């Protein structure tokens, strides 16, 4: 029994990502629901159609969640099946790996989301299709950001190996409180507002609420989201290349173990 304890203790002790994972979940959950509670207690009359807005935002957030997780899963599955090395000795350019992951992640995302979108209408009388044409722009923006997060996490997996795996699952929840998915930016304390303004999510979800509540479309929000998306995507791609170079120096590509 002590031996088994030591086996896990040594594993955790030697891995910063695993330690962070232990601290991470409780903190994020408390922050997220704290902000939601605060919003409802202060602005109980804000929504005429609270359920519809929340469900629409939840589904849109799931686009981000699914696209990012799909991207990460594709990468993780290669590690779990011990196929990782085979992939990197095949004559594939890094950009080909990235592009194939992006498209495969899109298919995985759609497979996961379409049933959810179809079910919300008969179950709750809510359909995100009510957003109309802007839905396509919002979807694309969320998908790009999801892929970008996937690139950041996959770069971490390349660089640090499977010990970075838990970050893959938790990366999305870090952004949930700051992304202002279920409440407006003003709900956040001033310091967090400054950080949140650097995330495309704030503009995407602000615009979603604007469309649903005011039946109007503010292209400025979408423009802001796309500009930020492109900056982060370029950073994500750069980081993935950098992680590959570092992995070749450190030997991670042939030592994908604990």
Partner 1 sequence: MKTPLEVINLSKVYNNINAVKDISFKVNRNEIIGILGPNGCGKTTTIGMILGLLKPTNGKALINGIDIETNRVNLLDNLNFISPYIELPKKLTVKQNLEVYGRLYDVKNLKTKIEYLSDKLRLQDIINKITGELSSGQKNRVSLAKSIINDPTVLLLDEPTASLDPETGDFIRSFLENYQKERETSILLASHNMNEVERLCSSVLMMNKGSIIDQGKPADLIKKHGRKNMEEVFLKLSREKNES
What are the distances in angstroms from CA 83 to CA 71, 88, 125, 255? 16, 9, 45, 12
Q: Select 178 or 243, whichever has its Cβ closest to partner 1.
A: 243
Which of 108/197 has CB closer to partner 1?
A: 108
To partner 1, the closest distance from the beta carbon of 154 in angstroms equals: 17
Q: List interacting residues with partner 1 (CB under 8 A).
A: 77-78, 81-86, 88-93, 245, 248-251, 253-254
Report the length, in residues, of the chain.
Answer: 258
In the complex, the smallest distance separating the C-beta of residue 209 from partner 1, rounded to whole angstroms, is 41
- List own/partner pairs for 177-184 with CB under 8 A and 24 or more apart: 177/28, 177/31, 177/32, 177/35, 178/202, 179/61, 179/205, 180/205, 180/206, 181/57, 181/58, 181/60, 181/61, 181/205, 182/36, 182/39, 182/54, 182/57, 182/58, 183/35, 183/36, 183/39, 184/39, 184/209
Q: Between residues 27 and 85, which has the closer beta carbon with respect to partner 1?
A: 85
Of 125 and 251, which CB lies nearer to partner 1 in the complex structure?
A: 251
CA neighbor of 59 nearest in space, from 205, 203, 256? 205
Between residues 89 and 129, which has the closer beta carbon with respect to partner 1? 89
Q: How far is the CB of 126 from partner 1 (least distance, A)?
A: 36
**In whole angstroms, how close is the CB of 254 to partner 1 at the nearest point?**
4
CB of 59 to partner 1, least distance (A): 29
């Amino acid at each position: 029994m002590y031996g088994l304890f030591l086996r896990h203790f040594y594993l955790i002790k030697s891995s910063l990502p695993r330690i962070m994972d232990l601290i991470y979940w409780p903190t994020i959950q408390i922050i997220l629901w704290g902000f939601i509670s605060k919003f409802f207690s202060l602005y109980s009359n804000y929504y005429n159609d609270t359920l519809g807005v929340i469900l629409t935002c939840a589904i849109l957030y799931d686009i981000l969640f699914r696209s990012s997780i799909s991207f990460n899963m594709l990468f993780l599955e290669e590690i779990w099946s011990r196929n990782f090395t085979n992939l990197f000795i095949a004559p594939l350019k890094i950009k080909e790996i990235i592009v194939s992951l992006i498209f495969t992640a899109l298919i995985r995302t759609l497979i996961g989301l379409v049933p959810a979108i179809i079910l919300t209408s008969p179950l709750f009388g809510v359909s995100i299709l009510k957003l109309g044409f802007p839905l396509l722009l919002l979807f694309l923006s969320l998908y790009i950001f999801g892929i970008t997060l996937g690139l950041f996490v996959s770069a971490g997996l390349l660089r640090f190996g499977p010990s970075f795996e838990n970050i893959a699952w938790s990366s999305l929840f870090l952004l949930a409180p700051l992304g202002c998915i279920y409440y407006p930016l003003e709900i956040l304390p001033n310091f967090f507002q400054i950080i949140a303004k650097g995330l495309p999510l704030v503009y995407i979800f602000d615009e979603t609420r604007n469309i649903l509540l005011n039946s109007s479309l503010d292209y400025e929000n979408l423009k802001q989201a796309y500009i930020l998306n492109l900056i982060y995507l370029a950073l994500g791609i750069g980081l993935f290349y950098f992680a590959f170079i570092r992995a070749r120096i450190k030997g991670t590509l042939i030592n994908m173990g604990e």
